[in-house]
A and B are shown apart, each in its own frame.
Chain A
């Protein structure tokens, strides 16, 4: 990365490294570990804590214990013949991933690696202070324009929560152009969601995320941000506002030939490129987010192509890497594939084909319906979101939401349509209750 943030590693970790910790690790652990250490300045607080726990745990083991922990991994590395591969021990490459994935022992290796991480997690769990946990909120919006089908929209949730009727009539003060989701975020008489989260003792931009296929939510949040001199209160990602970043990135990706070495060369180039000039102001000023996006785009999953895929994949990665207390995501509308040229899906369709773009509303609705569920499923993989978390997914065209929440959430048993102001108040109340779990 051209604009590397030089940040010192925590002293105990640096000590462990000085004592030769890396030399004691199996080969297949090295690319991940070295990359994490090199990118320390670009890791979220949660990631830093995780890698710190892992490496200090490994450093605390004597040779016999470490050999026992890694025995299976090392045996599998020998069976796979990793030492004979062109395997990078410096960073995770596509070549590495490909070599591992086509080994007959790949699945066994994955399970063995998982066991090591599980052991480290168990150790960390024992050491974790038994403190209170703050409430969390995941707020998803499928906009009015998406023609969702009432009979199918919540089928994939398999009854994990319940539908909640909404009265989405906008207060007159909100202005005609605001969507219900934007009105929820922009605030009313009872305050604003972002203000509540920013008042928390551990507040940081990594703890509150706004992810938008369009620009509406992020524009709303930007209007609420303190002056330029103040620290940002949230991580703001808008697919539309990132158009320049995406176009430049896509152009580089499209130079890639069908060859692993070439793919790694392109990826290496993209890892080092100065992307700051391609970023909107809210991203350019936050190196951690800039690098989050670079990694996100390199990892594929449609984030460079479709706004809804960007929303789903960046939310999923936010949960995995940052464990935010508040995430609000709004889906959008993609265009229909253009005749003939849609096969060249990597290209910018408007550049390739001058025919005007046509919105695919039913297709976008189905995409959003599936991907909203995926956002919840991504969060629910982690312990942090299995307790005091409210997930509320709004289908604006149906004036309905699906709510997954603990019974103490104020609207959990509500049967009447809930107006926006009351919904906002309930969500603010939920987020404001910082320490309910152990009370």
Chain B
């Protein structure tokens, strides 16, 4: 007998009795039941399909969280932390419950592996560029896409602008993405105010706004580590405008004020102003786990859940994106299991399923039918898949194309 939709929605919401005792397999089976027979409305399919010059006309937004475990997200007990992903987005998504990071489970290597389709083993602190071409370079070189078409907006402090382009010969920064670290703006503003004896300003919203904007001045900007339109020494005036807009919203709206919030606001402004065809947004509030606050880690998951949903809403509301965009959400890796010698959720160094096995969700134009694909996939599979989606010729990649994601 097919479970009733009401039953399934209770499972997704984690609200029915007995759900907490279900195994992960039962959980997935129940979630899969929701998707059986569902086909998406035409308007959300690839109908946009503007195969214009320089590619397929498709767009891709990749949303990467830091390290989150299944147990705090897609598990019966974790669902309460991801209400938007599990209730609003899962029913219309292609969901891979076992997306594995088989490389180095440190931030720079994990993200650059996703973005190159090859397991990277470079310096953990972003001092060395990925050694094989990124999707940005491939996209720009092969299709002649402009730099304004490729952006990375990231919170993670372990990244540098080298995440935007590789050291591969015949590629490199000339084909790289714009890279912006909004959180670094905040960190630098705090440090600057402290150095200048203006720490009182940090308690005054109006003064915070001016401290943040001061960081965009030529002399300060250089220290932010951004690369925007090839200019490392000054900020392009078009970009300055969108950052100022994001700062104003961040400071004056009275909403939450974490690094990921500012990253979201800048990403949204980038979408509105430049409509990049390939946008990567990297959230990292969850990484407060390194300091041992489980509550703040879970809070970071909830923030990421909400912001990923808001990005999806922006895609749906923005004419440049609606109907021709595929959004992919995935964590960089999991975290270490409770009781491990590496101190459990604090870290992500273990060679365990808890650390290596994550999930991936795809939504939008390239998802013709929602489904749960239980086959394990690898993080390096995403790059080849998106290259194909964007209309690029195949990339040299250790990954395999995910055949379910297609237009």
* A interface with B by C-beta (< 8 Å): 98, 101-104, 107, 110, 156, 258-260, 300-303, 305-306, 308-309, 312-313, 316, 334, 337-345, 347, 351-355, 360, 362-367, 369-371, 373-374, 377-378, 380-381
Bound: A351/B341 CA distance, A: 34
Bound: A312/B202 CA distance, A: 32
Main secondary structure of the interface of A (DSSP, over half): helix
* Known contacts A352-B190, A352-B194; A306/B104 CB under 8 A: no
Between A and B, 13 residue pairs with Cβ closer than 8 Å are A101-B104, A101-B124, A102-B122, A102-B123, A258-B160, A302-B293, A302-B346, A308-B293, A313-B343, A339-B257, A366-B295, A371-B294, A377-B344
Contact digits for B214-234, partner A, Cβ 8 Å, 1 yes 0 no: 000000000000000000000
Bound: A380/B158 CA distance, A: 33
Name B203's contact: one of A309, A355, A362, A369 (CB within 8 Å): A355
Across the interface, do B343 and A301 meet the contact criterion of CB distance under 8 Å? Answer: yes
Across the interface, do B160 and A102 meet the contact criterion of CB distance under 8 Å? Answer: no
For residue A377, which residues in chain B have a CB less than 8 angstroms away from its CB? 338-339, 344
B134 at interface, CB cutoff 8 A: no
Bound: A334/B344 CA distance, A: 20
Name A260's contact: one of B125, B203, B290, B347 (CB within 8 Å): B125
B26 at interface, CB cutoff 8 A: no
B406 at interface, CB cutoff 8 A: no
Across the interface, do A340 and B257 meet the contact criterion of CB distance under 8 Å? Answer: yes
Across the interface, do B202 and A102 meet the contact criterion of CB distance under 8 Å? Answer: no
For residue B347, which residues in chain A have a CB less than 8 angstroms away from its CB? 301
Across the interface, do B291 and A308 meet the contact criterion of CB distance under 8 Å? Answer: no
Bound: A360/B346 CA distance, A: 20
* Known contacts A110-B351, A302-B293, A377-B338; A347/B194 CB under 8 A: yes
For residue B54, which residues in chain A have a CB less than 8 angstroms away from its CB? none
For residue B251, which residues in chain A have a CB less than 8 angstroms away from its CB? 340
Q: How large is the interface on B (under 10, 10 to 19, 20 to 34, 35 or more residues)?
A: 35 or more
Name B295's contact: one of A101, A302, A364, A374 (CB within 8 Å): A364
Across the interface, do B121 and A381 meet the contact criterion of CB distance under 8 Å? Answer: no
The distance from the CB of B223 to the nearest CB of chain A, in whole angstroms, is 11
For residue A334, which residues in chain B have a CB less than 8 angstroms away from its CB? 293
B51 at interface, CB cutoff 8 A: no
| Known pairs A101-B106, A341-B190 / 15 extra A-B pairs, C-beta < 8 Å | A98-B123, A98-B125, A102-B124, A258-B125, A258-B127, A301-B343, A308-B293, A337-B296, A345-B288, A347-B194, A353-B203, A355-B202, A366-B294, A366-B295, A370-B345
For residue B338, which residues in chain A have a CB less than 8 angstroms away from its CB? 156, 373-374, 377
Name A309's contact: one of B106, B119, B200, B291 (CB within 8 Å): B291
Bound: A301/B119 CA distance, A: 27
Which of B322-349 touch A at CB < 8 Å? 338-339, 341, 343-347, 349
* B interface with A by C-beta (< 8 Å): 104, 106, 109, 119, 121-127, 157-158, 160, 183, 186-187, 190-191, 194, 199-200, 202-203, 208, 251, 257-259, 288, 290-296, 298-299, 338-339, 341, 343-347, 349, 351
For residue A102, which residues in chain B have a CB less than 8 angstroms away from its CB? 104, 106, 109, 121-124
The distance from the CB of A342 to the nearest CB of chain B, in whole angstroms, is 7
Across the interface, do A340 and B208 meet the contact criterion of CB distance under 8 Å? Answer: yes
Bound: A412/B293 CA distance, A: 32
For residue B190, which residues in chain A have a CB less than 8 angstroms away from its CB? 340-341, 343-344, 347, 352
Closest to B191 in A: A344
Across the interface, do A98 and B124 meet the contact criterion of CB distance under 8 Å? Answer: yes
Name A371's contact: one of B183, B200, B292 (CB within 8 Å): B292
Across the interface, do A380 and B339 meet the contact criterion of CB distance under 8 Å? Answer: yes
Name A302's contact: one of B257, B258, B292, B339 (CB within 8 Å): B292
For residue B160, which residues in chain A have a CB less than 8 angstroms away from its CB? 258
The distance from the CB of A161 to the nearest CB of chain B, in whole angstroms, is 15
Bound: A103/B258 CA distance, A: 34
For residue A308, which residues in chain B have a CB less than 8 angstroms away from its CB? 292-293
The distance from the CB of B33 to the nearest CB of chain A, in whole angstroms, is 27
The distance from the CB of B276 to the nearest CB of chain A, in whole angstroms, is 25
The distance from the CB of B129 to the nearest CB of chain A, in whole angstroms, is 14
For residue B187, which residues in chain A have a CB less than 8 angstroms away from its CB? 343-344
Q: Which of A344, A355, A380 has the most chain B CB within a 10 Å cutoff?
A: A344
* Known contacts A101-B124, A351-B199; A366/B292 CB under 8 A: no
Name A340's contact: one of B127, B202, B291 (CB within 8 Å): B202
* Known contacts A102-B122, A110-B351, A352-B194; A360/B295 CB under 8 A: yes
Q: Which of A337, A340, A367, A371 has the most chain B CB within a 10 Å cutoff?
A: A340
The distance from the CB of A199 to the nearest CB of chain B, in whole angstroms, is 33
Closest to B183 in A: A343
Across the interface, do B258 and A342 meet the contact criterion of CB distance under 8 Å? Answer: yes
Bound: A26/B345 CA distance, A: 32
The distance from the CB of A362 to the nearest CB of chain B, in whole angstroms, is 7
Closest to A339 in B: B257
Across the interface, do B294 and A370 meet the contact criterion of CB distance under 8 Å? Answer: yes
For residue A110, which residues in chain B have a CB less than 8 angstroms away from its CB? 351
Across the interface, do A363 and B295 meet the contact criterion of CB distance under 8 Å? Answer: yes
Bound: A68/B184 CA distance, A: 51
Bound: A242/B104 CA distance, A: 36
Across the interface, do B194 and A367 meet the contact criterion of CB distance under 8 Å? Answer: no
For residue B293, which residues in chain A have a CB less than 8 angstroms away from its CB? 302, 306, 308-309, 334, 363, 367
Across the interface, do B257 and A309 meet the contact criterion of CB distance under 8 Å? Answer: no
The 7 closest A-B pairs by CB, nearest first: A309-B292, A302-B292, A302-B291, A363-B295, A377-B339, A366-B295, A370-B294
Across the interface, do A374 and B343 meet the contact criterion of CB distance under 8 Å? Answer: yes
The distance from the CB of B305 to the nearest CB of chain A, in whole angstroms, is 17
Across the interface, do B346 and A107 meet the contact criterion of CB distance under 8 Å? Answer: no
Q: Which of B191, B294, B341 has the most chain A CB within a 10 Å cutoff?
A: B294
Across the interface, do A104 and B292 meet the contact criterion of CB distance under 8 Å? Answer: no
Closest to B190 in A: A344
Closest to A317 in B: B343
Across the interface, do A353 and B106 meet the contact criterion of CB distance under 8 Å? Answer: no
* Known contacts A352-B194, A381-B341; A104/B121 CB under 8 A: yes
